[in-house]
Amino acid sequence: MKTYKKWLPWVGMAAACALPFLFTSSYMHQILNMMLINGIITIGLYVIFGLTGIFSVAQAAFWGIGAYTAALLATRLGVPWYVCFLAAPVVAGLFGILLGAPTLRLKTHYLTMATIAFAEVVRQVEVNWMGLTNGPNGIRNIPAPDLGFIVLNTPQKYFFLGLLMLGLVVLLANRLRSSRLGRAMEAVRDDELAAEAMGVKLVWVKILAFALSAAFAGLAGAMYAHLIGYISPDVFHMEVAIQVLAMLLIGGRASPYGAILGAAVITVLPELLRGLQDWWAIIYGLIVLAILAFAPKGFLGLIQQLGARLSAGRPAKGGVAE
């Protein structure tokens, strides 16, 4: 079981490279890119919620902060794209710490409310601080990434940069989860009190979770800004945060791959439902509901169950009888 886990991600990446060539429309390429971007944001949610158990609804806000950071640096200061890609996660990460630090002692729904409040305040600032963000008009003319030998000015070309970023994030997330930090996060999620009693520094772990999840979302923001070339506050609405939550829950909150799977499904679902015209949103909501009800561990959970059933015939792992 464990051996194929090693090369699966590489195979996945290779297979993904073929995707942009399966479609000819720029629109489909855009969707593929959005899958990547959403995947990264959702992996951020995986870090703070899947690993650490903190139910934060602020991911969209950090996505927005990253996007605005990149956009402002690129358009006002002429900063090249790769610096933006570096600066956005750093700035977003700092805001993550800003949100995390004062809310550490809060429990469950209080904490969630605080993240909602934070997200809403960020959005209000984006809309109203004309001097900085240009308000509802947004920021235009964000240049496409220039790699020297090629400019990524079509979604198809951009996809490969996006894929690289996603691969990087997955790599980091996997290294995190199999390290002492990831274990500490999971311990905090499962039993904060016991974790502390075993020597885990709660403050550190939680702030790290906030910082990393925000940083990932920030990177996704920079990616979005340079992909579309234009950002405005209504892109980063709360509904995005809710969609990200759905992505993680549907894909499976136990691993970064679940995050990617869920992101892909939710991103593509509206397209698949397009044929239903104005019924699509209703069916969409119902599908999400159905998956939440019947697949609580997400698709990844279903796949695991399927795998377990297929290798049945061997007796289940038996505990020592009393």
Partner 1 sequence: MNTLELKGITKLFGGLAAVSSLDFTVARGEIHGLIGPNGSGKSTTLNLISGQYIPTSGQILLGDRDISRVPPAERTVMGIARTFQNIRLFRRLTVLDNVMVSRYCRTGSGILPVFLRLRSERREEAQAREAALEALRVVDMQTRAEALPGDLPYGQQRLVEIARALATDPQVLLLDEPAAGMNPTEKRELRMLIARLNQDHHLTILLVEHDMDLVMTACGRLTVLNFGAKIGEGTADEVRANPDVIEAYLGSEEAIGA
Partner 2 sequence: MVLVGAAVIGVIFERIAYRPLKGADGPTYFAATLAAAVVIRNIGLKIWGPYALPFQEPFGLNMITLGGVRIRPQDLLIVAVVIVLSLLLYFFFYRTRTGKIMRAMSQDRPTAQLLGVRVLSMGTLTFIMASMMGALAGVLVAPIYFVSLDMGFTLGLKAFIATIIGAWGSLPGAIIGGLIIGVVETFGAVYISSVYKDVFAFALLIVFLIIRPQGIFGEKIADKV
Binding site for partner 2 (CB under 8 A): 49, 55, 102-103, 105-110, 112-114, 116-118, 120-121, 124, 128, 193, 238, 242, 245-246, 249, 278-279, 281-282, 284-286, 288-290, 292-294, 296
Contacts with partner 1: how many residues (CB under 8 A)?
31
- The answer to whether residue 200 forms part of the interface with partner 1 (CB under 8 A) is yes
Q: Which of 8, 26, 151, 190 binds partner 1 (CB under 8 A)?
A: 190
The first and second tokens of residue 313, run together, are: 């015939």
Calculate the CA 263 to chain-centre distance. 8
Q: Does 197 bind partner 1 (CB under 8 A)?
A: yes
Distance CA 236, CA 239 (A): 8
For the bound state, the minimum distance from the C-beta of residue 208 to partner 1, rounded and expressed in Å, comes to 7
The closest alpha carbon to 61, from 142, 140, 126, 141, belongs to: 126
Indicate the residue among 171 and 306 with the shorter CB distance to partner 1. 171
**Residue 291, phi then psi, degrees to nearest 5:** -65, -40
Asked if 44 and 216 count as a contact pair (C-beta separation under 8 A), the reply is yes
**Phi (first) and psi of residue 312, to 5 degrees:** -75, 165
Residue 105 sits in the site that holds partner 1 (CB under 8 A)? no
Q: Determine the interface stretch with partner 1 among 59-67, 158-166, 178-186, 222-230 (rule: CB under 8 A).
A: 178-186
Whether 265 contacts 231, CB under 8 Å: no
**For residues 13 and 139, is the Cβ–Cβ distance under 8 A?**
no
**d(C-alpha 265, C-alpha 254), whole Å:** 17
Sign of dihedral through CA atoms 15, 245, 204, 84? positive
CB neighbour burial string for 289-308, b if at least 16 within 10 angstroms, e if fewer: eebeeebebbbbbeeeeeee
Cβ atoms 160, 17 nearer than 8 A = yes
Task: Rule CB under 8 A: say whether 107 interacts with partner 1.
Answer: no
State the virtual CA torsion across 265, 187, 113, 211 in degrees, nearest 10: -80
* 98, two tokens: 């800003």
By the rule CB under 8 A, 194 interacts with partner 1: yes
Residue 49 binds which entry of partner 2, partner 1, none, CB below 5-8 Å type-dependent: partner 2
176 binds partner 1 (CB under 8 A): yes
Closest to partner 1 by CB, 51 vs 240, is 51
Piece in contact with partner 1 (CB under 8 A), picked from 17-25, 114-122, 185-193, 289-297: 185-193
CB of 195 to partner 1, least distance (A): 7
Binding-site string for partner 1 from residue 231 to residue 270, where x marks contact by CB under 8 A and - marks none: -----------------------x----------------
The listed partner (partner 1, partner 2, none) that binds 79, CB under 5 to 8 Å by sort, is: none
Give the residues lining the site for partner 1 (CB under 8 A). Answer: 172, 175-176, 178-181, 183-184, 186-187, 189-191, 193-202, 208, 212, 254, 317, 319-320, 322
